A and B are shown apart, each in its own frame.
Chain A
Amino acid sequence: MKALDIIKEANQSLLRNKLRSFLTILAIFIGSFVIIISTGINAGVNDFIDKQMNSVGGEGYLEIMNTNATQQAAAMFSSEVQEYSEEEEEQSTDIYITEEQIEKAKKIDGVKSFDALPSAKAEYLQLVGKDKKIKVAHINLVPRGNLNMDLIAGRKADSDSDNYEIILTQEIAEAFGYKGDSLDDILGKKIYLAIPGTIKCYTVQKHSDCQTKVEAEIVGVQAPGVLAMAGSRVNVALWNKMSEINNEGVPKENTLAVQATADVDPDKIDDIKKEMEDIGLTSMSLEDEIGSIKTFFDAMLTVLKIFGGIALVAASIGIINTLLMSVQERTREIGLDKALGMSNGRVFATFAIEAISLGFWGSLFGIIVSFLIGQAVNFVTHETILSSLPTFQLIIFRAVDLISITLIIMLIALLAGVLPARKASKKDPIDSLRYE
């Protein structure tokens, strides 16, 4: 008898006890379903993060804060009761990045640029020659270095240039009437940023009198995304101009930067972070930021997978039980097979393959149901909670994952089948034939 015969036979004998086989397969299905879905979410999240990483690039990009600031932020969320200390208070109030720190940081080996960023804000955007004004809630910087924006049109704003350049978000570009095919038409257009002078605005009658309109060039449009969050981005020159206007008349010591960005040699990034730490600066790379999101998801999905694994262990006990019953029922049949010359190995194989088949069908149903549910979940989340992230597919099924999950489950089923299959193969043909 050939392998195909054994496989066919194993499945026929599963069909003989439909309900029993079905229940066993159902148990395997539950385990495989949980594992397939959590693997799918894992793949979805990773894929999204990778896409973001690729679109952002950002090797060698560091975001820097005074270590005191991060400690203060941490203290805000801490419920620990602490004794008051004047010294500590004096030190820790110093959350700005000082001139001294900037000088030292710029000298660290591998640091290519270091931009300390005083705050900067604009109030609205207006295309030159048009009336429509779009309110600006938040504006970001395009830092130096190879940090890419998730662009859908144009290019990245050049932070090494002295020209004022801006990248709009897709939503703002659309609000100005440029969407779809006409999106590219907005590139190269001039746009006003209305920039307020903080002090001046206390003194003027009309608010618009304290706004300075600065003209910038639209060089790109960026896709919505997690990292390209909230707001258009400007180059360093424009950022500094905005900050200068904002802080007109403010004493110099009150305009110090709280945050800085640096472009550094990616190979030396770990050393650089340490050296920054020594001068009282805490730095974070994009990997660090993404890493924490990843860690969270990984932990959650690991828990899910463990549940799936537990379900599979329970299912294997089901397999053992089913097959032991089957061996018992088929005692005479086994005796006959052996009397007619079937080898122990073949008897073993018949039951082992029956076990593997149970595993196979269980995971196949797992794949089918997961796929259907996954599609539905993707569709629903795409329309609702993830509608702002069109490139994010929550659940992704990769063939490698599905195949390896199926193989692993078949292996588990095989292991579960060893005991009953051994029992069957050890049966004495004569005793089996005498068995009533």
Chain B
Amino acid sequence: MTENLLTVRGLHKVYGKRDSKFEALRGINLKINRGESVAIVGKSGSGKSTLMHLLALLDRPTKGEILLDGTNTSKLKQRQLNKLRNKEFGFVFQQFFMNANDTVLNNVILPLKIAGVSAKERKRRAMHALTIVGLESKAKNKASDLSGGQKQRVCIARAIVNDPAVIFADEPTGNLDSNTGAKIEEILFSLNREKDITLIIVTHDEELAEKCDRQIRITDGRITSDEDIAEERELAEMAQEEKEERHRKHLSGDMDADGLRDDATVSHVKVKEVK
């Protein structure tokens, strides 16, 4: 479970030249393991999106290196980077980037089309991805006809259609009301748990951030805290269990312990709902 996916060393990113020069990242060091769910939080303009773009190999750092599976990505050719993004990464953007005039299905198909998958196969896989986000009935609709939440689900379907190792999501719930946002979160976390997809989520939303295994806080281009919530939560759960144990012993009754524990551990996502 602790297989290393991404290692970042001394990452700097400078935008602009001379007078308009701006150092958006000022030395980031970071390790992300496979299967983790990582939230990148911080104030607006702190460099969250910049970091995500670098991690997702959409942009090249000014200084520092990013190792992916131990490979130094600065050594990779553009063609290899393209292939990596196409095969290993899934993207969910804040503004639901998609081709509004195209059908839902064609939007989801896009990464497979780029990969050169045959028409029949890519349709099958896109339909499968749409089923996961519960939108298989909208496949033939025009993307612009969907609601905001549905659009973001289409984006998730597009992000998972290539069976990625990592999903990068920049403010995936930023444009949505809390109910719809919760639904998107459910989908993302169930993918994380069930398919072991690494989640890297940029967000303002503290609640969403807390649901992740780990929160990385960025202030003015530097990491100011990196809490491993999963560990904390495990500790918290253990403490809770002990407390319950004591409580039960105290009552010395035959009450159903399982029911109680289910409520206490707070399952964030009910997998069945997502299906």
Chain A contact residues, CB within 8 Å of chain B: 1-2, 5, 16, 332-333, 335-344, 346, 428-430, 433
Closest 9 CB pairs of A and B: A341-B86, A341-B82, A341-B85, A1-B113, A340-B111, A342-B114, A336-B97, A343-B82, A341-B114
Contacts of B115-141 to chain A: CB distance below 8 A: 115-116
Interface contact A433-B116, CB-CB below 8 Å? no
Contacts of B63-79 to chain A: CB distance below 8 A: 78-79
**15 A-B residue pairings within 8 Å (CB atoms):** A2-B116, A333-B99, A336-B110, A337-B110, A339-B56, A339-B58, A339-B91, A340-B86, A340-B111, A340-B114, A341-B115, A342-B114, A346-B114, A430-B58, A433-B93
Q: Which residue of chain A is the closest to B112 with respect to CB atoms?
A: A1
Chain B residues with CB under 8 A of A333: 99
Chain A residues with CB under 8 A of B83: 341
Chain A residues with CB under 8 A of B82: 338, 341-343
**Contact bitstring B95-118, A, C-beta under 8 A = 1, else 0:** 001110100000000110111100
Of the candidates A341, A343, A346, A430, the one whose C-beta lies within 8 Å of that of B111 is A341
Rounded to whole angstroms, the CA-CA distance of A335 and B84 in the bound complex is 16
Q: Which residue of chain B is the closest to A432 with respect to CB atoms?
A: B97
Chain B residues with CB under 8 A of A430: 53, 58-59
Tell whether A332 pairs with B97 under 8 Å between CB atoms, given A5-B113, A429-B58.
yes
Measured CB to CB, the closest approach of chain A to B193, in angstroms, equals 25
Q: Which residue of chain A is the closest to B54 with respect to CB atoms?
A: A430
Interface secondary structure of B, over-half rule:
helix
Rounded to whole angstroms, the CA-CA distance of A406 and B147 in the bound complex is 46
Rounded to whole angstroms, the CA-CA distance of A16 and B78 in the bound complex is 31
Chain B residues with CB under 8 A of A429: 58
Interface contact B78-A344, CB-CB below 8 Å? yes
Q: B26 at interface (Cβ–Cβ under 8 A)?
A: no
Q: B183 at interface (Cβ–Cβ under 8 A)?
A: no
Q: Which residue of chain A is the closest to B83 with respect to CB atoms?
A: A341
Q: B211 at interface (Cβ–Cβ under 8 A)?
A: no
Chain A residues with CB under 8 A of B101: 16
Chain B contact residues, CB within 8 Å of chain A: 53, 56, 58-59, 78-79, 82-87, 91, 93, 97-99, 101, 110-111, 113-116
Interface contact A341-B87, CB-CB below 8 Å? yes
Measured CB to CB, the closest approach of chain A to B191, in angstroms, equals 18
Measured CB to CB, the closest approach of chain A to B18, in angstroms, equals 19
Chain A residues with CB under 8 A of B85: 339-341
Rounded to whole angstroms, the CA-CA distance of A427 and B91 in the bound complex is 19
Q: Which residue of chain B is the closest to A340 with respect to CB atoms?
A: B111
Q: Which residue of chain A is the closest to B81 with respect to CB atoms?
A: A341
Rounded to whole angstroms, the CA-CA distance of A342 and B113 in the bound complex is 9
Measured CB to CB, the closest approach of chain A to B111, in angstroms, equals 5
Measured CB to CB, the closest approach of chain A to B98, in angstroms, equals 7
Additional A-B contacts beyond A2-B116, A340-B114, A433-B93 (9; CB < 8 A): A336-B98, A336-B110, A339-B91, A341-B82, A341-B85, A341-B111, A341-B115, A342-B114, A433-B97
Chain A residues with CB under 8 A of B53: 430
Interface contact A343-B58, CB-CB below 8 Å? no
Chain B residues with CB under 8 A of A338: 82
Rounded to whole angstroms, the CA-CA distance of A305 and B83 in the bound complex is 48
Rounded to whole angstroms, the CA-CA distance of A41 and B56 in the bound complex is 61
Measured CB to CB, the closest approach of chain A to B166, in angstroms, equals 14
Interface contact B78-A340, CB-CB below 8 Å? no
Rounded to whole angstroms, the CA-CA distance of A5 and B113 in the bound complex is 8
Chain A residues with CB under 8 A of B91: 339-340
Rounded to whole angstroms, the CA-CA distance of A346 and B113 in the bound complex is 12
Interface contact B114-A337, CB-CB below 8 Å? yes
Measured CB to CB, the closest approach of chain A to B46, in angstroms, equals 17
Rounded to whole angstroms, the CA-CA distance of A429 and B85 in the bound complex is 12
Interface contact B86-A1, CB-CB below 8 Å? no
Q: Which residue of chain B is the closest to A341 with respect to CB atoms?
A: B86
Chain A residues with CB under 8 A of B114: 1, 337, 340-342, 346
Chain A residues with CB under 8 A of B86: 340-342
Chain B residues with CB under 8 A of A340: 85-86, 91, 110-111, 114
Counting chain B CB atoms within 10 Å of each CB, which of A5, A16, A341, A433 scores highest?
Answer: A341
Measured CB to CB, the closest approach of chain A to B266, in angstroms, equals 35
Tell whether A343 pairs with B116 under 8 Å between CB atoms, given A430-B53, A430-B59.
no
Of the candidates A1, A335, A337, the one whose C-beta lies within 8 Å of that of B116 is A1
Rounded to whole angstroms, the CA-CA distance of A134 and B115 in the bound complex is 84
Chain A residues with CB under 8 A of B113: 1, 5
Interface contact B93-A343, CB-CB below 8 Å? no
Chain B residues with CB under 8 A of A5: 113
Measured CB to CB, the closest approach of chain A to B265, in angstroms, equals 37
Q: Which residue of chain A is the closest to B107 with respect to CB atoms?
A: A336
Measured CB to CB, the closest approach of chain A to B41, in angstroms, equals 21
Chain B residues with CB under 8 A of A332: 97
Q: Which residue of chain A is the closest to B84 with respect to CB atoms?
A: A341
Rounded to whole angstroms, the CA-CA distance of A336 and B109 in the bound complex is 13
Measured CB to CB, the closest approach of chain B to A18, in angstroms, equals 13
Rounded to whole angstroms, the CA-CA distance of A119 and B255 in the bound complex is 138
Rounded to whole angstroms, the CA-CA distance of A5 and B82 in the bound complex is 19
